[in-house]
Homo-oligomer: A and B are copies of this chain.
Amino acid sequence: MHAPLPRPVTAAEVSARTGALIQGGDPQRSFVSLASLESAAPDSIAFLAGRKYLSAAQASRAGAMLVTQALADQLPGDLLKLITPDPYLAYAQLSQWFEAMLAAPAGAALIHPLAVVASDAQIGVDCRIDAGAVVASGAVIGAHSTLGAGVSIGAGAQVGEGSVLHPRVTLYAGVTLGARAIVHAGTVIGADGFGFAPSAKGWVKIAQLGSVTIGDDVEIGANCTIDRGALDDTIIGSGCKLDNQVQVGHNVRIGAGTAIAGCVGIAGSAVIGERCMIGGGVGIAGHISLCDGAIIGGMTLVERSIDTPGFYTGAWPVQTHMQWERTAATLKQLPQLRQRLRALAARIGLPKDPS
């Protein structure tokens, strides 16, 4: 659980931050942590995200709970309830407030003596640049941004205002990152796309002359890789959220507000719509497109375009290894089984298989 807050917060303050209404308790009662139902203490605030967690909420030691009106009645009468139509969203708002209180006070201004900033780079007001960070010629860092230890910003790259690049993030030359970006450690943006022309002497490299353009309010997890385009740019729309170890090939375009879970690989020139949700470990083939609002289940290979919004999946269900061996062996005979079934049906005069 997180460290103690520098000062307790009252239910009234929580109400003011989230718009939640106080029910069954004293607005001046104070709390020192935000906690899960299981680990909450009497001075913790918890949240009830939905009916499936109701019994856990009833058993929780939390002193206050973010909860809908509909579920509040099923909680103990002496629990302080914070009534809100969307407890999970209220929890998100509260978590950001707590994080801000927990953050170490910002020190003085802040280019570390062991950071290296080119003389013609532009650094906005109130930026912090940590030890070992390198900002190359012509780069532009927007105001109020942070470059962690060992961040590398290539020549002419641009980082929007209020962005946080955690340690060891690498932006290659010319990459553009919007405002309020959060990029986690080890992520590489703008490396060469994977492009080679075959020739009699082996692979001939196609220099990757495009770049990467990323919108505002984008968060990118740790150790991701987002390649620069071959000629045009790779594009990630505003409000996208990428988890860790996501791979984005050259000339991919991702629409605004799309969320991509960990370990997803997107091959070159794929086009992904707005507000899609891509599950962990998914692979998306090159040169295909996903419409707005497509939802893809974990570890699915999307090998063809999808043009109707909805939930799509494709993955072998887990079995005991012995069952799997039998099923996998039979799978290979599936086309023959189908033929056999047709022959049988014909033999006994069943109407022709419509499939």
Contact surface of A with B, Cβ cutoff 8 Å: 1-3, 34-36, 38-39, 86, 88-89, 91-93, 95-96, 98-99, 102, 104, 112, 114, 116, 130-132, 134, 137, 148-150, 152, 155-156, 166-168, 170, 172, 174, 182, 184-186, 188, 191-192, 194-199, 202-211, 217, 219, 221-225, 227, 230-233, 239, 241, 243-245, 247, 249, 257, 259, 261-263, 265, 267, 280-281, 283, 285, 296-304, 306, 310-338, 340-341, 343-345, 347-348, 350, 353, 355
Which of the residues B116, B325, B340 comes within 8 Å of A353, measured between beta carbons? Answer: B340
Copies of this chain: 3
State how many angstroms separate the Cβ of A332 from the closest Cβ of chain B. 6
On chain B, the residues within 8 Å of A345 by CB distance are: 340, 344
Q: Are A330 and B338 in contact (CB under 8 A)?
A: yes
On chain B, the residues within 8 Å of A131 by CB distance are: 116, 132, 134
Q: Are B318 and A333 in contact (CB under 8 A)?
A: no
On chain B, the residues within 8 Å of A298 by CB distance are: 267, 283, 285, 301, 303
Q: Are A223 and B330 in contact (CB under 8 A)?
A: no
Q: Are A283 and B280 in contact (CB under 8 A)?
A: yes
On chain B, the residues within 8 Å of A155 by CB distance are: 104
On chain B, the residues within 8 Å of A86 by CB distance are: 197, 199
On chain B, the residues within 8 Å of A243 by CB distance are: 194, 249
On chain B, the residues within 8 Å of A150 by CB distance are: 132, 134, 149-150, 152, 168
CA distance A230 to B299 in the complex (A): 24
On chain B, the residues within 8 Å of A239 by CB distance are: 202-203
Q: Are B319 and A210 in contact (CB under 8 A)?
A: no
Given A116-B114, A337-B341: A197 and B92 within 8 A (CB)? yes
State how many angstroms separate the Cβ of A1 from the closest Cβ of chain B. 6
9 contacts between A and B (CB under 8 A): A2-B210, A89-B197, A131-B134, A188-B222, A267-B280, A297-B324, A314-B316, A317-B331, A344-B350
Q: Are A336 and B316 in contact (CB under 8 A)?
A: no
Given A207-B96, A318-B300, A319-B332: A261 and B327 within 8 A (CB)? no
Q: Are B343 and A341 in contact (CB under 8 A)?
A: no
8 further A-B pairs in the complex, CB-CB below 8 A; given A96-B205, A203-B239: A1-B209, A2-B209, A36-B231, A114-B116, A205-B219, A334-B334, A340-B353, A341-B344
On chain B, the residues within 8 Å of A217 by CB distance are: 202
CA distance A60 to B253 in the complex (A): 20
On chain B, the residues within 8 Å of A310 by CB distance are: 320-321
Q: Are A312 and B317 in contact (CB under 8 A)?
A: no
CA distance A331 to B195 in the complex (A): 34
